[in-house]
Amino acid sequence: MTTRTPTGQSELATVLNKVPLVTLFFWVIKIMATTVGETAADWLMEHTGLTLVSTLWLSVGVLAVVLFFQMRSSRYIPGWYWSTVVAISVVGTLITDYFTDVRGISLWVSTGVFSVLLAVVFAIWHAGEHTLSIHSIVTRKREAFYWLAILCTFALGTAAGDLLSETVNLGYLTSAALFGVAIAAVAVAWKFLDASAVLTFWIAYILTRPMGASIGDFLSQSPKHGGLGLGTTRTSQIFLGAILALVVYLTASKRDIDVVTVPADASA
Residue 213, Cβ density class (10 Å: 0-12 exposed, 13-18 middle, ≥19 buried): buried
**Mean pLDDT, to the nearest integer, of 77-93?**
93
User: Residue 35's closest CA among 263, 268, 253, 210?
Assistant: 210
Q: Is the pTM of this model over 0.95?
A: no
Q: Say if residue 9's pLDDT is above 60.
A: no
Tens of pLDDT, residue by residue over 111-156, are 999 999 999 999 999 999 999 998 888 889 999 999 999 999 999 9
The domain locations on the chain are: 14-253
Q: Say if residue 198's pLDDT is above 60.
A: yes
Residues 6 or more apart from 187 whose CB is under 8 A from it? 200, 204
